[in-house]
Amino acid sequence: MARSDRHLPNAGLRALGLYAACSLVFSFGSALAYIWPIVALEDRIIVLGVLGLSLLVLSALFAWLAGRRGLRPATGLAAATASCGLGSTWVVLSGASGTALSALGIASVLLGSGMAVLCAKRARRPQARPAFLAAALALVPVATVAAAVLLMPQARAERAELLGRVPPAPVANPAPPPPVVFRTKPNVVLLGFLSAIPDSVAQAHLGLTATGLEEVLRNHGLIRVRNSFSAAVPTRRSYDALLNLGTPAADEDAATHPLSGSAGSAVFDIFRANGYRIETVTEDKKFGRAAGPFVDGMTIALAPSICLDPLLPENLRGLLFLGACALRDTRLYQAFGPDDDDLAAIYDRALSAALSGPTPTVVLGHFRPPYHYRGTKLAAPDLTATASFAERYAASTAVAARLMDRLLATVRARDPDAVIFVFGDMGLGLSDPPSDPPSEAPTEAPAPSFAVVDSFGVLAGLRYPDACPALQALTDAGDPVTTPEILARILGCLSGGAALPAAGGIALPQGRLDPRPFAYE
């Protein structure tokens, strides 16, 4: 070899730079077009921003390299840059794993390196046109890897699922609900808020005087149910328990969920049998990507983010588009997305639409904020350790209070006679929830158990426009009760009888826990 890569002429360096730039543009552009219908606007903006920054850095780098001599890393740098654009985009988007994923990654690196070296070598010949050659050769590895992904059955199936075109196979309710005939058929609105807790728990566990949520309930005429508990944790399991009258039908990782209508549930089956339309509202795709056959409609406020998609390999998701997803938590990224007011407007429109038709409707929603605690788990309240979280939680409950006030005002304006049930999906999560009940549950606890109240103690308020002894006794006594038991009493009132049968207590991984010894109010 007459000359080594150490002494590449300026033409060779320009060819390498153009090859790397074209590879990035082709791989980013084709991959972004592949997922364009299924990503949020902020994802598109941040990906295009990373591409532009990458091209700027490449241009500056190769301009600097062209002015120096004897730099061996030039060839490897160009090849690695182009290969990274391919390997971290198309390979991750393939959703492949194991051998297939490794093969695609290796192929993209080998093709990219080979094409980059060939570009530089061809640039030595005066008769060659390195610019056109670089642009043409950059298409080869991109087309090869993209074609492999596009032809992969697994990738095609997962993209169809991402688009919501192929919802999970429906799972019928394994335990048919008892036959219930409603005597009255008002609209029923069930509004669940993440980590919404009573003021008494906020005071004891976080040192907050009030969250503002109880005040909203009072202002709208809802009666708060004291000593309310969620029947399960975390969120998906909690809603499973609610819709199946205390018995979760699936674990947290199940692909189907009754809120999205991809799984049946006792509560929705009862409403369906009584001629109700079923609508659900949620912030993201936590409960499913599309409405299943067991609901009539589902509103998802946020467009899915490719950076968080669970179908992509988690250990490689952060590499997508040269690490663009790493910027997702920055203020720049968040500035492009919808804010709290935008989400509130979406929820408001969904509720208005659901309550505007002539058919009796039940609406179930899940809303954020407030938020869970994500720090080190505690064995007892520690106001010093949780001071920072308490401040953030107070700010988030102020946002939640405004949202709750807006939604309740919309419900009251659309239908003053609607039945309303507002509840927290689970507790704060300051502690690890108990996994099994005590072997001998005490008949009377000397003091509330921190872990039980923290994990399962939730805010609950209801409004039933007519007189119903079952609900009146519930609110007067203040005995510990779970949210599915409250809903069972509402269903009993609609049918003109006693509360429907519901599994008592809190569902734990290893049994059930009686909440009565853990009254906190």
Greatest mean pLDDT range, 19-33, 88-102, 157-171, 221-235: 221-235
pTM: 0.79
Residue with tokens 């094409």: 115
* Torsional class of 505: left (φ above 0), alpha (ψ -120 to 50), beta (otherwise): left
Helix (H) or strand (E) holding 460: strand 460-463
Give the distance between the most distant pair of CA atoms in the chain: 97
Cα distances from 228 to residues 102, 231, 277, 478, in angstroms, run 51, 10, 28, 9
> What is the pLDDT at residue 472?
85
CATH class assigned to 188-303+337-518: alpha beta
419 contact partners, CB below 8 Å, separation of at least 6:
186, 187, 188, 189, 462, 463, 464, 465, 490, 494
What is the chain's percent helix, strand, coil content, to nearest 5? 50, 10, 40
pLDDT above 70: residue 167? no
Reading the block at residue 472, the tokens are: 């009146």
Greatest mean pLDDT range, 74-78, 151-155, 258-262, 432-436: 258-262
Q: Using CA atoms, how far apart are residues 194 and 367, in angstroms rounded to an integer?
A: 6
Q: What are phi and psi of 283, to 5 degrees?
A: -75, -45
> Residue 129's pLDDT band (boundaries 50, 70, 90)?
low
Residue 506 CA to its chain's centroid (Å): 25
Residue among 33, 43, 38, 28 nearest 328 (CA): 43
User: Is 104:145 a contact under the CB 8 Å cutoff?
Assistant: yes
Burial of 179 (0-12, 13-18, 19+ CB in 10 A): exposed
Helix (H) or strand (E) holding 362: strand 361-367
User: Is 508:288 a contact under the CB 8 Å cutoff?
Assistant: no
- Strand pairing category for 419-424 and 511-513: unpaired
> H helices of 67-97, where?
73-87, 90-93
State which amino acid sits at residue 131: A
pLDDT above 70: residue 467? yes
| Average pLDDT over all residues of the chain | 82
pLDDT tens for residues 212-223? 999 999 999 999
Burial of 436 (0-12, 13-18, 19+ CB in 10 A): exposed
Reading the block at residue 331, the tokens are: 């203020």
Greatest mean pLDDT range, 45-49, 242-246, 437-441: 242-246
pLDDT above 50: residue 5? no
Cα distances from 15 to residues 55, 79, 130, 415, in angstroms, run 14, 12, 5, 69
Q: Which residues of 147-174 are buried (b: 16+ CB within 10 A; e: fewer)?
A: ebbeebeebeebbebbebeebbeebebe
> What is the pLDDT at residue 447?
45
Span 108-113, average pLDDT: 68
Residue with tokens 């059955």: 153
> What is the pLDDT at residue 95?
61
> Residue 446's pLDDT band (boundaries 50, 70, 90)?
very low
State which amino acid sits at residue 167: P
Cα distances from 92 to residues 145, 244, 319, 418, in angstroms, run 11, 37, 8, 48
> What is the pLDDT at residue 74?
55
> What is the pLDDT at residue 67?
66
pLDDT above 60: residue 507? yes
Q: Using CA atoms, how far apart are residues 505 and 511, in angstroms rounded to an integer?
A: 10
Residue 427 CA to its chain's centroid (Å): 18
Q: Using CA atoms, how far apart are residues 205 and 198, in angstroms rounded to an integer?
A: 11
Span 290-311, average pLDDT: 82
* Domain boundaries of the chain, sorted by first residue: 5-162, 188-303+337-518
Q: Which value, in Å, is the radius of gyration of the alpha carbons in the chain?
A: 29
> 100-104, 205-209, 402-406, 492-496: which has the minimum mean pLDDT?
100-104
Span 97-109, average pLDDT: 63
Q: Using CA atoms, how far apart are residues 385 and 373, in angstroms rounded to an integer?
A: 12
User: Is 292:168 a contact under the CB 8 Å cutoff?
Assistant: yes
User: Is 156:96 a contact under the CB 8 Å cutoff?
Assistant: no
Span 219-246, average pLDDT: 95
